[in-house]
Structure 1
């Protein structure tokens, strides 16, 4: 087998990630706690209509990815899509978005760290959460510090484990439903989904509140775009990864949800427990429940691995955009001999230490709820700005008429932006999300104002850069 030559970028990073690495990174970053831990809650809120929620969100995330893919296809040298926001919306918006997205990544990583401690305590309930979190954070940060290729390979196997688990669940569930297996909850059957179906079993507001929760499940899909700067054949990989990754994720989500609701009538689902564990226990495999717990542990580890990778690249990107004589540029705009932004990754991982500190309050479940809601709010804003930047790209001289164009742009682009705005508005109708939504507005006003004043002062001090 011929070994692929690794190309070195101008900044010292290396194009060592293959197509399988890129796709698995996206799958690994997306399919995590949202499916394995949070799906029980979303199903209990909406019943079978949760499938519609996943479908609608899947369509709009695909459109967003096509917009990001189009910009990256025109310039695959960028390490992050935030660079396009800076280019087309200006340095003030770019600086604001870069830090906001990095903060959102940190919140998501905190959620995964929290989930990891929950899964480990399934076997070792006496081990404190903070110790578990420190061990996993240190290990995965170490993987990211060595080389992008090692991260990619680790993510490939992490993601493969969760894919095998999902396929095993689907196969087991399909067998149980087709054979009409009897469980303590009744017969396993596809009719459990359609029987007494109601679009809004707990009211319209409960259905609406599921959208932000499922939105969180799709976060991380944009990691495809973050890996392009270190992908071996970027133009080829962009098309393949963007078009195929989300379809695969939807198949996994739909297959798993259908099986779960086919075996466990949704009215009997324990929202506080992993649906995967519940299904395998009903299938008569008590040992399999422990195996699935291992799988969901690797799933959360996979997501954390991807978040550390992305956060490190974004912190590095932010450092490169600062003046060369600034503290941040001198210390964090560096690439190691292995092609890795070591200082940026280290700082990003160090900031995640707040999670073990929060766990010392014995409020693990509350921590997960808080950080998940906060990350939702941050991501909505960033995604909307990315879509607006794409519209500016279409009006610029960079636009490639024969490039990887977003389909039906004149209709789908404004629809996607409007949809993200609607998702944000729904947060104000969900009591537990109101604080996070208000916090996002305050963050936008305060940090946005500080960023504007900072950029303005820099422009005054360096008028030759205007």
Structure 2
């Protein structure tokens, strides 16, 4: 096969499921327990804020994808609309984002399996989990589409069933507690502010970065754009539907969760959803939900690996990584990039032996993923703002844009850039998470420095962000002003 042309092996319905499947990972089931234990019922406000951010990012991304199609996606957009140097940092940080996140899913799978088989150490379960991911991602993309979309259905079913059961518990129709209403959130003689913000309001800002991890993977629908059979129709629809799915599939279960479990009982030892049901006598159902978390971890790691390999492929195509990383095998899979990503994931998992256990490693890896992933989201919003500015300068209006992002540039700038930057800066003041910056910051800036020095010395050629079958910005949007 040639260098260019990833196989279009993903159907539109698969792309829609991949969009939501990438969101519901172990961080949702385990990480939410950590967040609830830290901040109580105010976690629902944090999820709403995260939903607003991802809505902004996805609308900006959809506008770019359908108006300026690029196989390298947001890495190409960063190079074209921000700067090549920034694009290098963005691309490598996105790749490493998943190299940190995938092992965190393996750790999560190990934690859950340890609940069922406590005789086997968590670390061995984590190794087995990552081994399964390794094997699965050595097959062609068609296998990815079918597996990921099937696992997404299982995760969605988990949340729907939990909402139904939790609602019946709240109403006292089932369970051992009778009617509880809102008594868990608002106990008798309590103070409204203290009930909602038991750790204070600033905890919303302090944990904002971690909530972003819960929504990472949404951009996978963009990375899959090169492989959908009708990108202009499928991608905008999938991006628009993300916010609706977040409300129905992500935020609604959290609302029911805080209604039935006291925040002091949440944690990282098991799925917080399972813990909640077990408290009301549904131990068998809780065990089933815990097992479903395994599919969530497997699914999110699977879609994340897909995104990582495609990101590395894009880096290679554009001259930001060695050319051999974009070579495709006979199944149209960038196998060398796949192997390199696998090696990095295994190296990250080996950090286990330098931490105080699975809990610390899990949260630390999520923080690294939050930082590097947010850099990419910020880049998407910045690129969209610059794109819009450039076409306006050439005499175009909103009517000339396919799937325009709403309230641009204010919403992308304030929500997609400023708010995310604040979330990352606050990491430096969080004692539990500050250590992640020692790895996150170099991952972003070292590649930028290497590229800048290489360009200055002539050792690195310029970035190539156009494939042979792609039109340049000038071809897509020729200057109208000269025709008036």
Report the TM-score when normalising by structure 2. 0.86
In structure 2, the partner of 1:5 is none
In structure 2, the partner of 1:217 is 214
Matched, 1:342 2:335: yes
Matched, 1:88 2:85: no
- In 2, distance between residues paired with 1:233 and 1:252? 26
- In 2, distance between residues paired with 1:462 and 1:52? 44
- In 1, distance between residues paired with 2:122 and 2:261? 30
What is the correspondence of 1:262-273 to structure 2 with a 5 Å cutoff? 262-270=259-267, 272-273=269-270
In structure 2, the partner of 1:4 is none
Deviations 1:79-127 (A, max 9, x none): 4321111222232222221111111111111211111111222222233
Deviations 1:335-394 (A, max 9, x none): 122222122112111211124423356722221122111111212222222222222212
What is the correspondence of 1:17-28 to structure 2 with a 5 Å cutoff? 17-28=10-21
In structure 2, the CA distance between the partners of 1:462 and 1:295, relative to structure 1 (3 Å rule), is closer
Which one of the candidate residues 383, 388, 393 is aligned to 2:387?
393
What is the correspondence of 1:99-138 to structure 2 with a 5 Å cutoff? 99-138=92-131
In structure 2, the partner of 1:260 is 257
Deviations 1:131-157 (A, max 9, x none): 433433233233333221210110011
- Greater Cα offset, 253-262 or 99-108: 253-262
CA contact (8 A) 1:33 1:300 kept: yes
Displacement after TM superposition at 1:278 (Å): 1.3
CA contact (8 A) 2:58 2:239 kept: yes
In structure 1, the partner of 2:474 is none
Matched, 1:382 2:367: no
- In 2, distance between residues paired with 1:35 and 1:68? 23
In structure 2, the CA distance between the partners of 1:322 and 1:461, relative to structure 1 (3 Å rule), is closer
Displacement after TM superposition at 1:165 (Å): 1.0
What is the correspondence of 1:47-446 to structure 2 with a 5 Å cutoff? 47-179=40-172, 181=174, 183=176, 187-195=179-187, 196=190, 197-198=192-193, 199-270=196-267, 272-322=269-319, 328-329=322-323, 331-360=324-353, 363-397=357-391, 401-416=400-415, 417-437=417-437, 439-446=439-446
Q: What stretches of structure 1 of length at least 5 have no aligned partner?
A: 1-7
- Greater Cα offset, 400-409 or 444-453: 444-453
In structure 1, the partner of 2:472 is none
- In 2, distance between residues paired with 1:460 and 1:234? 33
- In 1, distance between residues paired with 2:186 and 2:249? 20
- In 1, distance between residues paired with 2:314 and 2:413? 28
| Count of residue pairs the alignment pairs up | 452
CA contact (8 A) 1:189 1:262 kept: yes
In structure 2, the CA distance between the partners of 1:271 and 1:108, relative to structure 1 (3 Å rule), is closer
- In 2, distance between residues paired with 1:125 and 1:355? 24
Displacement after TM superposition at 1:456 (Å): 2.5
CA contact (8 A) 1:113 1:133 kept: yes
In structure 2, the CA distance between the partners of 1:107 and 1:74, relative to structure 1 (3 Å rule), is same
Displacement after TM superposition at 1:240 (Å): 1.1
Deviations 1:394-425 (A, max 9, x none): 23359882311110103212212111111122
Displacement after TM superposition at 1:289 (Å): 2.2
In structure 2, the partner of 1:449 is 449
CA contact (8 A) 1:424 1:437 kept: no
- In 2, distance between residues paired with 1:335 and 1:263? 51
Displacement after TM superposition at 1:302 (Å): 0.4
Which one of the candidate residues 29, 39, 64 is aligned to 2:32?
39
RMSD: 2.7
